[in-house]
Amino acid sequence: MHRPPRAAFVTLLATALIGSTVSGAGAAPVQVTQQAPAVLAPAQTEGVAPTAAGVGAALAAILKDPSLGPHHGIYVYDASRGKAVFSVGASTPYTPASTLKLLTTVSALATLGPDHTFSTKVVSAAKGSIVLVGGGDPLLTVKPSASDGFPTRATLQALAVSTAKALKAQGVTSVTLGYDASLFTGPAANANWEANYLPEGIAARTSALWVNEGRLSPHMAKRADSPSQVAAVAFQKLLVQYGINAAVPKPAVAPSTAQPLAVVKSPTLGQIVEYINLHSDNDGAEVMLRHVGIATGNGGSYVGGVKGVRATLTKLGIDISQARIYDGSGLTRANKVPLEALAGAVRVAASKDHPELRHLLTGLPIAGFDGSLAERFTTAGTSTGLGLVRAKTGTLTGVHSLAGMARDRSGTLLVFAIASDSVPVPKTLDARAALDRAAAALANCGC
């Protein structure tokens, strides 16, 4: 959706904060006109350290907002000084919803590296026989589209052009076509998901070979029962278009000795992680989960992926001993994660020890400007967060969470996670506004 430009902005790691008073508890989420300044002042160097009492005072009224329900809490960490500052209601884990994607994507960056790419290729199985092999590219499409936006995606069209050229160079104009999606294993759908997720297109059957994330039409909800078959049929049609007669594609496993004919590569993993977190892409997160499973030697199922994520987070120094994780996207309500662990993903990504994890930060939505925060921070008491809070959102019915970072008025970089998984449905907008006020209060905190 197009938004009129509010103003130029810079990232939280190099911004200062504008002053404003945060509204008290129970403030209704009334839409207000708020404008970021034309240019934000440079960030101050770290001044007086925030205290638990100061942060608590800034948040006290907001945390009493009844719209948050009985089970809500916040965890705040001083990333400038490397220590926890404040927490309340953080002793028990929460249903994280999509903030779980932070754990999945930081694990992918840690295990594969930000420059890693995923290859979709065509190999020659025998004379006149080729196999389309999926490499787990979550953003693969049939053809380029202006609506795809950033990053630029690999396409079956480019792969078909290269394949046709290679075959014609061999004097081959007719082939049998197989398709191989065996990189990922186990059930294509997570057993912990709600029954309506697949038929309503909320999630896809995860596949190592698909186009448009398993959608039958780009940007539409309805998903294919067999994403790999749909991708293979689309590829067959493209081959015919470029002068290669290809038979109806059939499932196959490419021989390990098969010679490659053509290949297209995905965007870098860093770019994919940015896309997933900016847009809260459930399907991309599920693909990342399986890649983590493979990279850690636990296999390409969602169960193996969860094992890989847990092992990777532990190596990064994030305590997940009290966490229950069942998927990569946060779609299942069975997930339970401590707020400290959610903030921990941001904490390690901001650490000087882990520059390879920076894409987790650069992909966080910016309050009031882009991604899943584009239409947020528009209610009373949230203006101090505009352009200055970066956070991943999490939303299920009755569940709302934010996890990210803000630099306070003294120059301290605060990492935070705030959540409620007991929001009364009629209070959904009020609860979301309360989370925004809490994040904005941290940005306005000189405490």
CATH of the domain at 434: 3.40.710.10
Query: Do 290 and 431 belong to one domain?
Result: yes
Query: Is 24 part of a structural domain of the chain?
Result: no
Can 280 be counted among the known catalytic residues?
yes
| Residue recorded with tokens 């999490």 | 394
User: Pick the residue with more confidence: 18 or 60?
Assistant: 60
Query: Is 36 part of a structural domain of the chain?
Result: no
Query: Do 143 and 106 belong to one domain?
Result: no
Question: Cβ–Cβ contacts within 10 Å for residue 432, how many?
Answer: 20
Does the pLDDT at position 41 exceed 70?
Answer: no
Q: Are 109 and 359 in contact (CB under 8 A)?
A: yes
**Phi/psi of residue 390, nearest 5 degrees:** -120, 125
- Among the options 280, 301, 329, 401, which is catalytic? 280
d(CA 53, CA 37): 30
Query: Is 38 part of a structural domain of the chain?
Result: no
Q: Can you give the three-state secondary structure of 287-321, one letter per residue?
A: HHHHHHHHHCCCCCCHHHHHHHHHHHHHHCCCCCC
pLDDT above 90 covers what percent of the chain? 84
Query: Is 26 part of a structural domain of the chain?
Result: no
**Domain end residue (candidates: 267, 292, 311):** 267
Q: Is 308 exposed, middle or buried (0-12, 13-18, 19+ CB in 10 A)?
A: buried
**Domain end residue (candidates: 267, 284, 312):** 267
Query: Do 352 and 428 belong to one domain?
Result: yes
Query: Do 141 and 54 belong to one domain?
Result: no
pLDDT (0 to 100) of residue 195: 95
Q: Are 83 and 117 in contact (CB under 8 A)?
A: no
Q: Which tens digit of pLDDT belongs to each residue from 193-247?
A: 999 999 999 999 999 999 999 999 888 889 999 999 999 999 999 999 999 999 9
Query: Do 370 and 278 belong to one domain?
Result: yes
pLDDT (0 to 100) of residue 40: 52
Look at strands 174-180 and 245-246 and give their pairing.
parallel
For 222-247, give one letter per residue: b (16+ CB within 10 A) or e.
Answer: ebbebbbbbbbbbbbebbeeeebebe
Query: Is 51 part of a structural domain of the chain?
Result: yes
pLDDT band at 348 (very low <50, low <70, confident <90, very high): very high
pLDDT (0 to 100) of residue 220: 84
Q: What is the mean pLDDT of residues 152-161?
A: 98
Does the pLDDT at position 47 exceed 90?
Answer: no
The whole-chain average pLDDT of the chain stands at 90
CATH code of 159's domain: 3.50.80.20
pLDDT above 70 covers what percent of the chain? 90
Query: Do 192 and 282 belong to one domain?
Result: no
- Among the options 101, 121, 307, 427, which is catalytic? 101
Query: Do 126 and 100 belong to one domain?
Result: no
Domain count, the chain: 2
User: Pick the residue with more confidence: 49 or 437?
Assistant: 437
- Among the options 67, 80, 87, 98, which is catalytic? 98
Query: Do 227 and 317 belong to one domain?
Result: no
pLDDT (0 to 100) of residue 49: 87
Can 101 be counted among the known catalytic residues?
yes
Query: Is 166 part of a structural domain of the chain?
Result: yes
Does the pLDDT at position 101 exceed 60?
Answer: yes
pLDDT (0 to 100) of residue 147: 83
pLDDT (0 to 100) of residue 34: 52
Q: Are 78 and 445 in contact (CB under 8 A)?
A: no
Query: Do 175 and 64 belong to one domain?
Result: no
Query: Do 285 and 258 belong to one domain?
Result: no
pLDDT (0 to 100) of residue 85: 96
Query: Is 8 part of a structural domain of the chain?
Result: no
Query: Is 35 part of a structural domain of the chain?
Result: no
Query: Do 227 and 292 belong to one domain?
Result: no
Can 98 be counted among the known catalytic residues?
yes
**Domain end residue (candidates: 239, 267, 295):** 267
Q: Which domain holds residue 411?
A: 43-113+274-443
Q: Is 262 exposed, middle or buried (0-12, 13-18, 19+ CB in 10 A)?
A: buried
